[in-house]
Amino acid sequence: MTLDELRDRIDALDMQILQLLNERAQHAMEIGDIKRSKGESFYVPERERAVYDKMRGCNPGPLPNGAIKSIYREVISAIRALEEPLTIAFLGPRDTFSHIAALRMFGAQSEYLPLVTVDDVFTEVERKRADYGVVPVETAMGGTIGDTLDRFISSDLRIVNELMIHVSQNLLSNVPLDGIERVYSKTQPFVQCRNWLKANLPNAELIEVSSTAEAARIASNNPGSAAIASELAAETYNIRVLVRGIEDSANNFTRFFVIGRHNAKPTGKDKTVVVCSIVDKPGTLFEIITPFAKAGINLTRIESRPSRKRAWDYVFFIDLLGHCEEPHIAAALESLSRYCKELKILGSFPQGELEE
């Protein structure tokens, strides 16, 4: 076909896509009416996972699965906004990796509420001023984030989804590399990029600020300045991405939880997080893992933290594969409860995948 014929064909396909998108939206709005009448949640992570998995399995190419997921994320976000607009609280400010994680989970058509602390995110969701919250829980380089884990102990909110994103640190500046005199960022990006900075900007002054987004804002307005921040921050503050991927380790990811007021249903590929309170004594760890070992349940993480309620008491946070409604998981948790002063299921949710 000629160029004009190919363009005509694309135009015709675009009209078909538009018609089908609106038809899909109409059916989704009807589903929204049913959900509303039953008082059900408009965000159903297990259904979204099923859609993504189906598209992945049916995709013949040439579009890669990641592109298909990105397209459908925005389709679902736009249609969900027709059903019921969602307000998403996240650890701000905007244009940080927490903001990026929230956008990847809920799409551009949701309303976003940046907050100062993890505690603020929990509080806004608890008080129903936000529908869901997105909080960081673990980094590959720095381990678990204590503020998030500790807040779960006092909250009735549930983990309804998780997301792991590859954190790529970028050097942003409107001047050449040899013209950079100072670099702005937070402590963690400086640590993650220590070797690169030492090799490429050994004489630059490193200045800590409140967020990577704030670093980008400052650097965009000051000659001789650079920032370590996200590409999203570069777009917002009109500053060039001078060098991409300056982190020292390629294994640089952050895990986020989506918190809400309801439980996610089983998908067949789930994860459960529980916290149990115990008295520190010999053999405690063995008692905790025994019920899971007997049931053949895979534990992906176990971490102890001092209890804030009483000295010498500890709480264990446990990640396991499976959903708490599955009989063998429920039985193992029942067995575990016999060894615990308290046992709390923080949530069962679709098992997350690492996104680039």
Residue 219 forms part of a structural domain:
yes
- Residue 160 belongs to a domain: yes
Whole-angstrom distance, CA of residue 312 vs CA of residue 81: 48
Q: What is the pLDDT of residue 309?
A: 65
Give yes or no: residues 114 and 157 share one domain. yes
Rounded distance between C-alpha atoms, residue 233 and residue 191, angstroms: 20
Q: What is the mean pLDDT of residues 63-84?
A: 91
| Boundary-marking domain end, from 260, 291, 325 | 260
**Active-site residue, selected from the candidate residues 97, 106, 122, 256:** 256
- Report the pLDDT value the prediction gives residue 248, as an integer from 0 to 100: 92
Mark which of 36, 54, 82 sits at the end of a domain.
82
Residues 219 and 208 in one domain: yes
DSSP-derived 3-state class of residue 278: strand
- Domain extent, residue 51, equals 3-82
Return d(Cα 112, Cα 89) in angstroms, integer.
6
Q: Is 277 in the same domain as 208? A: no
43-47, 173-177, 198-202: least confident range: 43-47
The reported pLDDT for the residue numbered 239 is 97
Predicted confidence at residue 14, as pLDDT, reads 96
Indicate whether 312 pLDDT > 60: no
Mean per-residue pLDDT of the chain? 92
**Mean pLDDT (whole number) for 340-354:** 91
Q: Is the pLDDT of residue 231 over 90?
A: yes
Query: Do the domain assignments include residue 201?
Result: yes
pLDDT confidence of residue 89: 98
The answer on 116 and 78 residing in a single domain is no
pLDDT given at position 41? 87
Please check whether residue 146 lies inside any domain of the structure: yes
Pick the catalytic residue: 254, 257, 292, 317?
254
| Residue 143 predicted with pLDDT over 80 | no
The closest alpha carbon to 278, from 217, 355, 208, 342, belongs to 342
316 assigned to active site: no
Query: Global pTM?
Result: 0.87
Compute the average pLDDT of residues 13-30: 96
Query: Is residue 253 left, alpha or beta, with left meaning phi > 0 and alpha meaning psi from -120 to 50?
Result: beta
Residue 183, token pair as written in the block: 């670099």
Mean pLDDT of 92-120: 94
Structurally, the chain folds into a number of domains equal to 4
pLDDT of res. 343: 93
Does 248 reside within a domain?
Answer: no
198-220 pLDDT tens trace = 999 999 999 999 899 999 999 99
Domain membership flag for residue 341: yes
- Mean pLDDT along residues 16-28: 96
254 is annotated as an active-site residue:
yes
Residues 23 and 77 in one domain: yes
Instruction: Please say if the pLDDT value at position 64 is more than 60.
Output: yes
Asked whether the bond before 62 is cis by omega within 30 degrees of 0, the reply is yes
Query: Given this model, what pLDDT does residue 250 score?
Result: 82
Judgement on whether residues 318 and 296 belong to the same structural domain of the protein? yes
Q: Identify the CATH number of the domain in which residue 184 sits.
A: 3.40.190.10
**What pLDDT was estimated at residue 318?**
95
Q: Give the C-alpha separation, 187 to 207, whole Å.
A: 9
- For residue 10, what is the domain's CATH number? 1.20.59.10
Structure confidence at residue 135 (pLDDT): 96
Domain boundary among 49, 82, 115: 82
The answer to whether residue 356 is domain-embedded is no
pLDDT (0 to 100) of residue 227: 98
Residue 32 and residue 53 in one domain:
yes
Going by C-beta distance under 8 Å and a sequence separation of 6 or more, which residues neighbour residue 176?
Answer: 242
